[in-house]
Amino acid sequence: MAIFDELLENNRRYAESFRLGELSRPPAKKLAVVACMDARLTVEALLGLRTGDAHIIRNAGGLITDDALRSLILSTQLLGTRAVVVIQHTDCGMLNFSEDELRQRVQQATGHDASGLRFHVFTDLEQSVAEQVHRIRTHPFLPRDLQARGYIYDVHTGRLREVSL
């Protein structure tokens, strides 16, 4: 319970000096970022973004899943986004397990059949980034002129490296 109390106290202090209520709904830089949920990636800081500059979509692995696509379709078709950045990173947990291992862990922890779960693990970081960008560039509900690039973030140096496609 203490963590929730701490969060509410932090929010109370944040709200005392809140001055962002007039930001527009569309992202100011017409940008969306799809990145891994890893806590070592501070997306706004590593890209020099401010609140309101971009839509930030995060999931395990920084993958263009159906739900990420849903968000990108809304971002592009309704809110004017014209560029997408995909960021995966070194030392990613999605590189360290197989689908079967993860399903077994979940089943053991919960006692429920996990055979239908799919975690979208991958074994090649560069190939995975390239596949995510390709999925964006070829999706029929995303604009043909949508710019998309993929990067690997090095969790030890803080540097981004573009993946050649």
Give the tens place of pLDDT for each residue, 49-79.
Answer: 999 999 999 999 999 999 999 999 999 999 9
pTM (predicted TM-score): 0.94
Give the tens place of pLDDT for each residue, 19-48.
Answer: 999 999 999 999 999 999 999 999 999 999
Inter-CA distances, 58 with 69, 81, 103, Å: 12, 17, 21
Residue 1 has pLDDT above 80, yes or no: no
**The token pair that represents 69 in the structure block:** 């696509």
Tell me if residue 129 falls in helix, strand or coil: helix
Q: Which long-range contacts (CB under 8 A, 24 or more apart) does 42-46 make?
A: 43/87, 46/153, 46/158, 46/160
Cβ-based neighbours of 10, under 8 Å, separated by 6 or more: none
Query: Between β-strands 54-59 and 147-153, what pairing exists: parallel, antiparallel or unpaired?
Result: unpaired
Q: What percent of the chain is predicted at pLDDT more than 90? A: 98
At which residue do the structure tokens 């995303």 appear? 142
Cβ-based neighbours of 101, under 8 Å, separated by 6 or more: none
Which CATH code for domain 27-162? 3.40.1050.10
Domain ranges within the chain, ordered by starting residue = 27-162
- The pair phi, psi for residue 5, each rounded to 5°, is -65, -40
**The token pair that represents 105 in the structure block:** 């862990």
Q: Are 117 and 102 in contact (CB under 8 A)?
A: yes
Per-residue pLDDT band at 132 (split at 50, 70, 90):
very high
